[in-house]
C-alpha cells in the first residue's frame, strides 16, 4: 500500500492513469505545514534547490508520522506492507522559487484572500511570459516499518511559455484554476495553452513524475509492498465517442400553476370595456403554466434535450393533471406532488391589441424551501442552464431557496439565468437585488422599463438606445450578459463581455396571439441555445482527442462527426506529407457530406497522428503480435510523434491552416515481461505506435521534447494559437458560463 503525504487531486489522477486504485493500492493524506521555509525570497542555485526540495518531501514524511490519522492507517495496514511517499513540486525561475499563490483550499475562501492570491497569479504569469523555467519535484520513498530505509530523487523538467498577452493572463486568472498550483498554472487544464514546449517529464509538471516514481518503486527495497496492475484490461480506451451534438439540459425554477386562459378577446377589449360589460364567446384553454413551466416548454422547443421544473405541485387532482401533462411533453417535475398543499391556479384573460394587455387572477400557493432545493441538488448540478424566476426572489416564501439554487449553480459552473418579472422594482430595490444575487447571475433577462425604474430613470424612453448604451448599461456591470427588451417586445438588445448586439427588431406583432404567450421566455431560450450550441466540430471519433479538446473548451461547444476517411498510404509520400494530407481530407469530407452539423459551427478540425521511427510510420496494431513487434522496435529508442492538423472555415470550406506538429519521445528499454503485461491491458490495439502516453504507457516514457498533447493526438498549445490568429476565436470565449462571442 502506498501512503501519500499529499491529497492533490492531480497526483491522484496520475496514479489512477497507470492502474493504481485508491483505497486498495494507495491512500492520500493532507499533511499540513510549512515545508519550504528555506526556499523563498532567496537567490538559489539549481543544485541547492534540488537538495532543498528533497528535504521538503522528507519533512512531509516526518510530519505525517506525527499525524494521528496517518499513524493509525500505518498500523492497520501493516508497516511492512506500506511505502511512505513524500513529494513536493516547485517552479524554479531565474534563481528563485515560485510556489502556489494560495496555500489553502480555494473553496469558500474570503474574497480579500482570493484577490491577493489572484494578484500573485498575475505577477507570476507576467514574469514567466516568453521565458524558460524549470519544474522540480522532490521524491522520497521510504519503508513503512523503517522510514530511514528510503530512496530519493529530484526530477527536473524544462519548460518555456508563449508570449501570451495580458488579456490571456487576466482571463486565465478569472477561471480560478491557477490559485492552488505552483507557478500559477496547470498544464493539465486550460493553462496548457500558455505553454510553448516542455523537455523532460510531462507528468512532473502536473505534480508526479511517473517514470521516475515507478523506477523507484521497483527497487528491491520495496519488494512485496506494491501491487502492479499494468496488465489489467482497459477496454474503454479504444471505444469511439458518440457522434452528434451535445445534449443540453435546463432546470427551471419558479411558479407551477394550473392555467385557465382565454387568449382570443377582441382587439382593444380592455380599453373599450364599459358597464355593464360584454358577453364574449370563445375557447378556454386549460394547461400547466407558470414561469418555470413556460420557460421549460420553450427551452424544449428550442432544442434543449432535458428540461426540468423545480417548483411546488399540489397533491390535489389539478396537481396530478399538471404532472401528467408535463410528463407527456417530456418535462421532468423534480419535486413529487405535495399532498399538504393545493395547486396554484391562474385565470388569464388576454386581448390582442398592440400592447397585448392581459389580466391575471391568481390563487397562489407557491412556496419553496431550502430542503426542497437540497432534494433537487443532483438535478441542478447536472444541468447546463439553471433558470430562476424573479418572483422567487420577491416572494419571502421562496427567497432563501432561490438564493440556495444560485449558490449551487455558481459552485458547479452552471449558467445561471435570472428572469426579471414586470414591475419587480416595486417589490425589491436594485441594491437589495445585488445583495441577494452577489455576483452569481450570468444572464439577466428583463424589460427595459423595469431596469429604468430600478435605476431611477423612469423619465427616459425605452427606445432611447444612445442613452441606454451610454448611461444605463455601464451601471449593470455586475452582470456579464443582459437580454433587454422593450415592454411591447418590439426590440431587443443583447449585452455580453464581447460587446453589444442590437437593437434588433422582434417579430412579436407578426405571430399569432397564442404564440405571444411566453414570447420573452422563448426568446431567452432561443438565445441560450444558440450561444451554447457547438462552435467547434471535431472530425474524429477518437475519445482521446475529444478529452483533450474538452481540456480547453467547454463540452457543449464541441460537436463530433467522424469522417470515416480511409487512411491509405500513398507511394513515395513521407510521413509528414501523409499526416498533413489526411488531416485536410478528414475536414473536407465532413464539410462535403451535406454539411450535417449544427448551423453555429465555425471551425472543423481534422487531425491525424502517427509514430515515426527511423523515417518509417509505425502502424496502429490490429492484434497483439503487431503490437509486440512495434513495442520492441521502440524499446530504448527515441522516436517522433507527428500530428497533421487542418482547420477549416465551416461556412466556406476554406482550409485556413494545414501543417504538422512534431514531438520527440524517448522510451525506456522494455523487458519482455513489461511488453507482455502492457499488451494484456488492451491499450496498444488501435493506437499509433502501439502505446498511449496518456495511459499506462506513461511508465515507459523517459522524456519528451515538444508538446505532450501532440503525442496524445491533438496539440492544444498550437490549436489555441491558430484559432486566435486564423479565426479570431479566443479559447477563453469558448466557455458556456459567460465568456461568449456573438458570431
Active site residues: 608
Strand 443-447 relative to strand 415-419, pairing: parallel
For 461-527, give the DSSP string: -TT-HHHIIIIIGGGGTTSSEEEEE-TTSSEEEEEETTEEEEEEE--GGGS-HHHHTTHHHHHHHHH
* The C-alpha cell that represents 552 in the structure block: 480547453
Assign residue 564 a region: left if phi > 0, alpha if psi is -120 to 50, beta otherwise?
A: left
Q: How many CA atoms lie within 13 A of 530 on its CB side?
A: 10
Length of the chain: 743
**Dihedral sign computed on CA atoms, order 121, 124, 130, 136:** negative
Which uninterrupted H or E stretch holds 382?
Answer: helix 377-382
Could you tell me if 150 and 141 are in contact, meaning their C-beta atoms sit under 8 angstroms apart? yes
Sorted by sequence, the CB contacts under 8 Å of residue 146 that are 6+ apart come out as none
Instruction: Give the span between the Cα atoms of 226 and 81, in whole angstroms.
Output: 8
CA 259 to chain centre: 38
Could you tell me if 468 and 712 are in contact, meaning their C-beta atoms sit under 8 angstroms apart? no
φ, ψ for residue 486, nearest 5 deg: -70, 160
* The C-alpha cell that represents 165 in the structure block: 498577452
Q: How many CA atoms lie within 13 A of 470 on its CB side?
A: 6
**Dihedral sign computed on CA atoms, order 551, 554, 558, 562:** positive
Instruction: Give the span between the Cα atoms of 257 and 46, in whole angstroms.
Output: 69
What single DSSP character describes residue 425?
Answer: G
Could you tell me if 201 and 153 are in contact, meaning their C-beta atoms sit under 8 angstroms apart? no
Could you tell me if 415 and 443 are in contact, meaning their C-beta atoms sit under 8 angstroms apart? yes
For 613-672, give the DSSP string: ETTEEE---SSHHHHHHHHHHHTT-EEEEEEEEEEEETTT--EEEEEEEEEEEEEPPPPH
Longest CA–CA span in the chain (Å) reads 101
Spatial CA neighbour of 223 closest among 151, 154, 152: 151
Strand 96-98 relative to strand 83-93, pairing: antiparallel
Q: Name residue, grid cell 395547486.
A: 343
Instruction: Give the span between the Cα atoms of 251 and 417, in whole angstroms.
Output: 10
Could you tell me if 335 and 375 are in contact, meaning their C-beta atoms sit under 8 angstroms apart? yes
Direct distance between the N- and C-terminal alpha carbons of the chain, in angstroms, rounded to an integer: 53
Query: Burial of 522 by CB count in 10 Å (0-12 exposed, 13-18 middle, 19+ buried)?
Result: buried
For 390-411, give the DSSP string: THHHH-TTTHHHHHHHHHHHHH
CA 281 to chain centre: 54
Could you tell me if 731 and 723 are in contact, meaning their C-beta atoms sit under 8 angstroms apart? yes
CA 530 to chain centre: 18
Amino acid at each position: 500500500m502506498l501512503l501519500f503525504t499529499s491529497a492533490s487531486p492531480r497526483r491522484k489522477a496520475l496514479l489512477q492513469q497507470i492502474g493504481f486504485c485508491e483505497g486498495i493500492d494507495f491512500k492520500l493524506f493532507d499533511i499540513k505545514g510549512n515545508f519550504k521555509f528555506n526556499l523563498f525570497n532567496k537567490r538559489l542555485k539549481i543544485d541547492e534547490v534540488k537538495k532543498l526540495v528533497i528535504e521538503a518531501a522528507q519533512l512531509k514524511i516526518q510530519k505525517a508520522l506525527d499525524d494521528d490519522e496517518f499513524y493509525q492507517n500505518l498500523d492497520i495496514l501493516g508497516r511492512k506492507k506500506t511505502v511512505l511517499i513524500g513529494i513536493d513540486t516547485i517552479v524554479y525561475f531565474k534563481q528563485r522559487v515560485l510556489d502556489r499563490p494560495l496555500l489553502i483550499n480555494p473553496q469558500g475562501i474570503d474574497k480579500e484572500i482570493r484577490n491577493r492570491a489572484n494578484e500573485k497569479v498575475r505577477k507570476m504569469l507576467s514574469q514567466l511570459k516568453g521565458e524558460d523555467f524549470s519544474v522540480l519535484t522532490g521524491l522520497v520513498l521510504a519503508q513503512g516499518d523503517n522510514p530511514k530505509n528510503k530512496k530519493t530523487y529530484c526530477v527536473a523538467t524544462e519548460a518555456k511559455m508563449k508570449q501570451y498577452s495580458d488579456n490571456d493572463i487576466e482571463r486565465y486568472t478569472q477561471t480560478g484554476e491557477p490559485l492552488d498550483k505552483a507557478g500559477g498554472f496547470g498544464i493539465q487544464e486550460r493553462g496548457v495553452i500558455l505553454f510553448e514546449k516542455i523537455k523532460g517529464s510531462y507528468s512532473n509538471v502536473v505534480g508526479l513524475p511517473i517514470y521516475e516514481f515507478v523506477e523507484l518503486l521497483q527497487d528491491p527495497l520495496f519488494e512485496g509492498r506494491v501491487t502492479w496492475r499494468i496488465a489489467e484490461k482497459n477496454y474503454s480506451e479504444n471505444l469511439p465517442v458518440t457522434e452528434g451534438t451535445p445534449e443540453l439540459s435546463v432546470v427551471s425554477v419558479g411558479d407551477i400553476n394550473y392555467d385557465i386562459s382565454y387568449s382570443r378577446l377582441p382587439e382593444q377589449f380592455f380599453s373599450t370595456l364599459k358597464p355593464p360589460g360584454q358577453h364574449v364567446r370563445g375557447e378556454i384553454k386549460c394547461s400547466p403554466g407558470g414561469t418555470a413551466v413556460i420557460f421549460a416548454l420553450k427551452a424544449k422547443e428550442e432544442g434543449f434535450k432535458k428540461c426540468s421544473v423545480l417548483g411546488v405541485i399540489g397533491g390535489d387532482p389539478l396537481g396530478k393533471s399538471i404532472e401528467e401533462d408535463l410528463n407527456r411533453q417530456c418535462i421532468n417535475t423534480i419535486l413529487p406532488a405535495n399532498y399538504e398543499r393545493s395547486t396554484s391556479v391562474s385565470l388569464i384573460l388576454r386581448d390582442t391589441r398592440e400592447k397585448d394587455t392581459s389580466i391575471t387572477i391568481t390563487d397562489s400557493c407557491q412556496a419553496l424551501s431550502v430542503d426542497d432545493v437540497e432534494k433537487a441538488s443532483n438535478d441542478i448540478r447536472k444541468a447546463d442552464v439553471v433558470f430562476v424566476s424573479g418572483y422567487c426572489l420577491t416572494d419571502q416564501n421562496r427567497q432563501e431557496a432561490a438564493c440556495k439554487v444560485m449558490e449551487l449553480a455558481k459552485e458547479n459552473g452552471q449558467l445561471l439565468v435570472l428572469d426579471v418579472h414586470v414591475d419587480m422594482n416595486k417589490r425589491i430595490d436594485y441594491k437589495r437585488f445585488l445583495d441577494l444575487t452577489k455576483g452569481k447571475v450570468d444572464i439577466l433577462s428583463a424589460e427595459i422599463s423595469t431596469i429604468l425604474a430600478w435605476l431611477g430613470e423612469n423619465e427616459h424612453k425605452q427606445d432611447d438606445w444612445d442613452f441606454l448604451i451610454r448611461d444605463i448599461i455601464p451601471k449593470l456591470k455586475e452582470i456579464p450578459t443582459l437580454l433587454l427588451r422593450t415592454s411591447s417586445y418590439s426590440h431587443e438588445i443583447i449585452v455580453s463581455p464581447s460587446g453589444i448586439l442590437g437593437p434588433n427588431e422582434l417579430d412579436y406583432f407578426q405571430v399569432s396571439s397564442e404564440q405571444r404567450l411566453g414570447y420573452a421566455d422563448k426568446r431567452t431560450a432561443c438565445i441560450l441555445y444558440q450561444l451554447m450550441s457547438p462552435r467547434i466540430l471535431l472530425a474524429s471519433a477518437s475519445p482521446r482527442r475529444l478529452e483533450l479538446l474538452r481540456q480547453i473548451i467547454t463540452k457543449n461547444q464541441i460537436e463530433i462527426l467522424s469522417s470515416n476517411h480511409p487512411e491509405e498510404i500513398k507511394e513515395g509520400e513521407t510521413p509528414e506529407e501523409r499526416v498533413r494530407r489526411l488531416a485536410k481530407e478528414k475536414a473536407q469530407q465532413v464539410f462535403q457530406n451535406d454539411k450535417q452539423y449544427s448551423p453555429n459551427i465555425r471551425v472543423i478540425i481534422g487531425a491525424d497522428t502517427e509514430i515515426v521511427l527511423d523515417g518509417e510510420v509505425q502502424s496502429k496494431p490490429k492484434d497483439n503480435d503487431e503490437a509486440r513487434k512495434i513495442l520492441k522496435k521502440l524499446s530504448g529508442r527515441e522516436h517522433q510523434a507527428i500530428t497533421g492538423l487542418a482547420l477549416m472555415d465551416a461556412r466556406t470550406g476554406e482550409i485556413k491552416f494545414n501543417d504538422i506538429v512534431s514531438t520527440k519521445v524517448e522510451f525506456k528499454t522494455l523487458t519482455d515481461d513489461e511488453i507482455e503485461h502492457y499488451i494484456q491491458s488492451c491499450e496498444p490495439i488501435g493506437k499509433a505506435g502501439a502505446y498511449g502516453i496518456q495511459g499506462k504507457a506513461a511508465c515507459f516514457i523517459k522524456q519528451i521534447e515538444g508538446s505532450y498533447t501532440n503525442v496524445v493526438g491533438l496539440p492544444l498549445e498550437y490549436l489555441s494559437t491558430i484559432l486566435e490568429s486564423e479565426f479570431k476565436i479566443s479559447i477563453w470565449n469558448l466557455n458556456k458560463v459567460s465568456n461568449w462571442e456573438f458570431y
